[in-house]
Chain A
């Protein structure tokens, strides 16, 4: 009898573990679609908490080497770039002055100043400590979590544009899905022509701009920004630049390839947007989290706008 049971131990273990994994997948899938979705269960949070300091230690030597390279060695052409940028700033300041004059003349500036407080979102600077452990998915781990005011659904950005969306948090860590991930979808518009479409990740280094109405004005070099209609990302955050427009082949919509505005290969510091917008409130249910007195002093309440 013991021999018989021993011979069955492997099939029983196999069946039991497969069943456990399938049940976990189904449960996790429904959890992700749950409008009241909350933070990660404690046991998942513990692993995330342990992984963060370890990843910092493992990545430290390589980070130090790269920082040295960037700060001391890779400075060829900095003087020329500096001169070009100084010229560019002068041009932009001039253009900015003209726009301000035009706004003052039309009486819009005061109204914009009043609206500003409503639209500014507190942001939390966070450090990216690790990337996805699977090459088939694109997400990052950041070293700030629930204790710092981050909630699932918080957008993550840099000064260059959209990075992704927080999908899970533990007290001191958070997991964010990058816009490059195949599961990511962002409602977007072309900044120049306002043509609408959907930006999706392809799992590699590029983005797709799909479901654009046939005949809409999309050209190589166009800047694509968030439309704000998805209810997650605020309007006007930069997503990328059109590389080329693909031939629709008789389809009713056209598509384009985008170069992401964020250099994901050099992702170190990100900002997590902490305030939940009214549409997000509808999406995720419940009252938006009260952040007063909860945020650490390093939270930037009036951050520089990425766009």
Chain B
């Protein structure tokens, strides 16, 4: 529970920081700290169920502070979290390069899904697809660059709040032949 609320607070603080940061760095050059936190949680969080509730709450909070439809970012973060959770168990994402490539892919798919869901709900124009894709590509690059730093921050918070949980899962995964 302590871990849950600590990361809920961290997620909300990162959102506030992101909002302030966007005043100085405009999209697509501004990293999406919220999404990076979701990926970091997916790679370290011990239980899928509580992790899902956590990212859903952060997603709904992001929707309220953003121009998206209520539930849009919540839905996509739930999907991103689940996908990253599964990928974290299947693939070796230990090194910097695998992590960077993984975050690039997640961010790019996330951006495409936002576009498609906006299009489905009539909030985007089909003709803007190329501009969106190009912006999304650069945004994915920026997110990938920031990924090691944010994941390292998350690891520190994990250790600070409950060092045992992170290491237990890590040891458990290594014993199972998986990797984090």
Contacts from A to B (Cβ < 8 Å) = 9-10, 13-14, 17-18, 20-25, 27-29, 32, 40, 44, 47-48, 51, 54-55, 58-59, 62, 66, 128, 130-139, 141, 167, 175, 177, 181-183, 200, 202-205, 264-265, 267
Smallest beta-carbon distance B152→chain A, Å: 21
Is B48 positioned at the interface, with any CB of A under 8 Å from its CB?
yes
* A136: B residues at CB distance < 8 A: 27, 68, 111, 114-115
Tell me which of A28, A131, A177, A181 contacts B19 (CB under 8 A).
A131
A133 pairs with B65, CB closer than 8 A: yes
* A139: B residues at CB distance < 8 A: 66-67
| Given A131-B22, A167-B67, residue A10 in contact with residue B17 (CB < 8 A) | no
* A32: B residues at CB distance < 8 A: 69
- Chain B CB count within 10 A is highest, among A54, A59, A136, A182, for A136
B20 pairs with A44, CB closer than 8 A: no
A137 pairs with B68, CB closer than 8 A: yes
- B contact face: mostly helix, strand, loop, or mixed: helix
| Given A17-B56, A51-B16, A182-B124, residue A134 in contact with residue B73 (CB < 8 A) | yes
Smallest beta-carbon distance A60→chain B, Å: 9
Given contacts A44-B70, A134-B62, 6 further A-B contacts (CB under 8 A): A24-B60, A29-B122, A40-B64, A183-B118, A205-B26, A265-B26
Across the two chains, which residue of chain A brings its CB closest to B34? A133
Across the two chains, which residue of chain A brings its CB closest to B78? A17
A137 pairs with B53, CB closer than 8 A: no
Tell me which of B27, B70, B75, B123 contacts A138 (CB under 8 A).
B27
B67 pairs with A204, CB closer than 8 A: no
State the CA gap A175–B69 with chains docked (Å).
13
Contacts from B to A (Cβ < 8 Å) = 15-20, 22-24, 26-28, 30, 32, 34, 48-49, 52-53, 56, 59-75, 78-79, 82, 111, 114-115, 117-118, 121-125, 128, 131-132, 135, 139
State the CA gap A14–B77 with chains docked (Å).
11
Smallest beta-carbon distance A184→chain B, Å: 9
B52 pairs with A203, CB closer than 8 A: no
B75 pairs with A175, CB closer than 8 A: no
B17 pairs with A135, CB closer than 8 A: no
A22 pairs with B71, CB closer than 8 A: yes
Tell me which of A21, A29, A183, A265 contacts B67 (CB under 8 A).
A183
A25 pairs with B18, CB closer than 8 A: no
A204 pairs with B15, CB closer than 8 A: no
B52 pairs with A13, CB closer than 8 A: yes
Task: Give 5 nearest A-B pairs by CB, closest first.
Answer: A24-B71, A137-B67, A21-B75, A130-B19, A131-B22
Tell me which of B30, B48, B64, B123 contacts A48 (CB under 8 A).
B64
State the CA gap A303–B18 with chains docked (Å).
33
* B16: A residues at CB distance < 8 A: 51, 54-55, 58, 130
| Given A17-B56, A23-B71, A59-B23, residue A137 in contact with residue B121 (CB < 8 A) | no
State the CA gap A183–B24 with chains docked (Å).
23
State the CA gap A131–B15 with chains docked (Å).
10
| Given A134-B34, A182-B128, residue A175 in contact with residue B52 (CB < 8 A) | no
B68 pairs with A204, CB closer than 8 A: no
Tell me which of B17, B18, B49, B114 contacts A13 (CB under 8 A).
B49
B32 pairs with A134, CB closer than 8 A: yes
B18 pairs with A133, CB closer than 8 A: yes
